[in-house]
Each structure stands twice: as C-alpha cells, then as structure tokens.
Amino acid sequence: MTNSPSLIADIGGTNARFALQTSAGKIEAITVLNCAEFPTISNAIESYITSPHVLSLGSVKIRKAGIAIANPINGDIVKMTNHHWEFSIKSVQNEFDLNTLMVVNDFKALAMALPSLSNSQKKQVGQGNVKNHAPIGLVGAGTGLGVSGLIPTGRGWHALESEGGHASFAPNSQLEIEILKFVFDQFGHVSSERFLSGAGLKLIYTALAAVKGLVVADINIPEIMRRGLEMECQICNETLSIFCEMLGTIASDLAITLGAQGGVYIGGGIVPRMGQFFYESGFRQRFEKKGRLSDYLVDVPTFVITEPYPAFLGMSALMADV
C-alpha cells in the first residue's frame, strides 16, 4: 500500500482501539490493546503501527490521525481521568511526523456516528418514534460514564463535548436513597459515574449488601456480572437491575435536558454484555417515570448501540474535512 491511510484510535480507561482508514468508509487492521500494558500513549501507537497486522498491508505512511479519548480536551495537554496517560498533542504529532492530529472527547466522536448507524448496528428498547431534525442524546457506561449529544444545524450535526457523567447522582427510589447515603459517607460528592461504570457495579454490590445487612463475597466486577446474569447470586442479580434502572434515570434526565426527541442512545461496554437482561430490565420503565414529563418521554425512543466499533465511524466523520 503506497497511499497514506489515516490512523484512527478510540481510547478509554481500559482499552485502546486502533484502526486504519484506507479510503472513505473503509476501516481496516482493527486492533484492541490493553492500556495498562503501555507506559505512554506513544508506546501504544508505536506498538500498533509496527504490528504484523499493520505491516501486512504493505508500505504505509501515516500523515493524518484522529484520536477519540475518554477525557475532556482543553488545550494541548491531555491528562486522562481514568488512566495514568498524560501527553502533549503537539508532541505526539511531531513524534510521529503527522501533518494533522485531531484529538477529541470519545463521546463526541461516538455521537457523530449515531446518524449513520443502520438498524443492524442498534437495537431499540421499548416504544417511541424518532423525530427528524431533533436533538439526539448519548450516554454510555464503561470504565467511566460518557455523555454527549447531537444538535441539528443547517449544515448537519454539532456534537457536544460533555462531562455530564460527573453530574451529581439523583436517587429515584427509597433503596437508591439508602445506597446513596452509604456511598456519600465515603466520598462526600457522589456523581452518576460513581454508580454507572465498571467500578460502580462493585460499589452498588457493596452498598446493597450493607443496606440489607448481608455479608457477601468480595468478588470482582466480571464475577458480579456473571453471577447476576446467570441467577447464581441474588445480590448480584439485584445489583444489575439497580444499575439498569439508574441508567434509565440518567438517560431520561439527558432526554429532557436536550429535548432529545431524536432518541437517546446507550453506548459503552457494559450494557451490550448484559444482552437480553438489559432489554427485560426496568431501564425503560424508569426512563418513562418522570412525573409530569412521563407522557413526553413515552414518545422518545431509546436504542442500544450494537456496532462494536462505533467511535471509528464518528472519528472518520469528524476528520472528513480535515
């Protein structure tokens, strides 16, 4: 390959996903690396571009790159919230001799993918119908809690760069009030991300057991998921149910804040792993439970993103005119 493909990356607190866009709409050499295995982002990039997966494509000279990263982007220095990487955008651009390096919040990139998702790349949860040319909401739980949205403009869409996952958590049941009290004593301020994230699953599990006065096994997050989905552990199963309902509240808050009558999309790595459990959970019921605004929310559709690498699509859209 003698042309100049673009490097695209989607970097979260746990995984760094890389790919090459070799032509419009054609994404190849997708590789997922564990962030913890690399001291710096440059080490991860170097590992990817020198990997057999990339070298097998032939002679590749990358001149343009786009990085979607789980972090606010304010100026040249990026210091990740949920990982230890810290870097200068300009320094990375110079290190790899790039003409262009675009770095954006990962959920801004993910939001830009939403209008292009086909029915096979998303699955609707509950009722509601999309209103054309209306705002779209996006929320997703993974290592952290990402939030974004799309606002229609005369030229297409404007993606919001948001840190809404750090907004204060609001309980919506007596049990959630008790869970919040338990966690508040530890942290003082409790954001939505405290609960709606990988670490949040463990926190709900621990708090729920304490509230119920139970002694439970100290198990890791994947085991909580497994036992809950397979109905091996009542507390684990209830933890997942509470997680889904909390997410319903956050999604409905976003819907009424943005006026997201174009729908609210659920991204991140946790919900897709729940499979059918999520669709049968109390998520949608909680989404519509909004007092005087309930009738409004009944008409707002919600979707789970099932496309495994949607941020690549959004990053490609952002880089189209660069």
- Domain coordinates of the chain in residue numbers? 6-111+310-319, 118-306
Q: Under CATH, which architecture does the 6-111+310-319 domain have?
A: 2-Layer Sandwich (3.30)
Q: State pTM to two decimals.
A: 0.91
Write the pLDDT tens digit of every residue in 156-186: 899 998 889 999 999 999 999 999 999 998 8
DSSP E strands: which ranges in the chain? 6-11, 15-23, 26-34, 64-69, 77-79, 86-88, 100-105, 122-125, 136-141, 145-153, 156-159, 264-267, 302-305
For 118-306, CATH gives: 3.40.367.20
The dihedrals phi and psi of 250, each to the nearest 5 degrees, come to: -60, -45
Residue of 128, 167, 166, 161 whose CA lies nearest to 260: 128
Sheet containing strand 264-267, edge to edge, reads 122-125, 302-305, 264-267, 136-141, 145-153, 156-159
Q: List C-alpha distances in Å: 94 to 63, 65, 79, 89, 99.
A: 11, 12, 18, 9, 9
Percent of the chain with pLDDT over 70: 99
Q: Give the model's pLDDT for residue 81.
A: 82
Write the pLDDT tens digit of every residue in 311-321: 999 999 999 87
